[in-house]
Amino acid sequence: MDLQARLQAATKEAMKARDSARLSTLRLIGAAIKDREIAARSSGGEEQGLGEADLVAILSKMVKQRQESARAYEEGGRLELAAKEEAEIGVIQEFLPRQLDGAETAAAIDAAIAELGATGIRDMGRVMAELRARHGGQMDFAAVGPMVKDRLLN
């Protein structure tokens, strides 16, 4: 079952179960997807809709936004709002691919460097592009960037 179908099925299940917190988050996801579809259509995009990679990118962005909000709420002493953001993160992450752990990330970086024959910092862009193509949605590229840079410098 593709991601969009899973989201629609989960929304229906949440409606039937009267799970308002989950339903609210699923509707936010649906709205974000609709916004992206409309933006793609108005900018001359095709009518075929969004691909899996686009949907994963939307969900990843939503998780990142909520992590920043939760951090801000915690710093401001608003723990109930931080908990709500964390709950939304949990729902959104159900639909994202499994994140690679540290060892798997290191192995993926080494494999990409070896395949591309990267030897220096000038090859960092190529390595990052290769990692994004292979493991989009499975890595936090903000954390992977320094790891790639370190491997290329040593």
The CATH number linked to 19 is: 1.10.1510.10
Asked if residues 63 and 92 have their Cβ atoms less than 8 Å apart, the reply is yes
Q: Which residue's entry shows tokens 């592009």?
A: 129
Which of 93, 123, 141 is the endpoint of a domain? 93
Same domain, 66 and 142: no
- Are residues 25 and 75 both part of a single domain? yes
Residue 32 has a CB neighbour count (10 Å cut-off) of 17
Q: What is the per-residue pLDDT across 75-101, written as a single tens digit (0 to 9) for each?
A: 999 999 999 999 999 999 999 888 888
Q: Are residues 76 and 110 in the same domain?
A: no
**What are the pLDDT digits (tens) for 53-76?**
788 889 989 999 999 999 999 999
Q: Give me the domain span that covers residue 40.
A: 3-93
Distance separating alpha carbons of residues 55 and 99, to the nearest angstrom = 16
CATH number, domain containing residue 136: 1.10.10.410
Mark whether 87 and 108 lie in a shared domain: no
Amino acid at 103: A
**Full-model pTM:** 0.74
